[in-house]
Amino acid sequence: MSGLDTVFYVALWYGLNIGYNIYNKDTSNQFPFPWIIGCISLGAGLLYMLPVWLLGVRKIPKLTSGDVAKIATIAALHTIGHFGAVLSMSFGAATFTHVVKAAEPVFSTIL
């Protein structure tokens, strides 16, 4: 992957993140139940992946108990981060949440 590809994908992620944040803020203003919104959001990811796995677009991951143990911490932190973002969107300004979420790749790289 060239440097230009990287810039493109980071810009794409950033732009889509803006849309996601605006959509979530609008949703949280109309439906003030952030925990349910967070669960629906994670469930939508599962509903997206099920046909991808079942149609063979991607192989279903075969995880051993050791694999699960290796990814459990990062999965838990990702879940906490997701719900933190959804909750902050419900209780604060979308701009602040966007700034915090925009720093996510930096912290992921450090970890």
Which of 45, 95, 51, 48 minimizes the C-alpha distance to 75? 45
| Residue type (1 letter), 42 | L
DSSP 40-70: HHHHHHHHHHHHHHHTTSSPPP---HHHHHH
pLDDT tens for 5-48 read 888 998 898 889 888 888 888 999 999 999 999 999 999 999 99
What pLDDT is attached to residue 35?
Answer: 94
Read off the pTM: 0.75
Give the domain ranges of the chain: 6-110
pLDDT at 65 over 90: yes
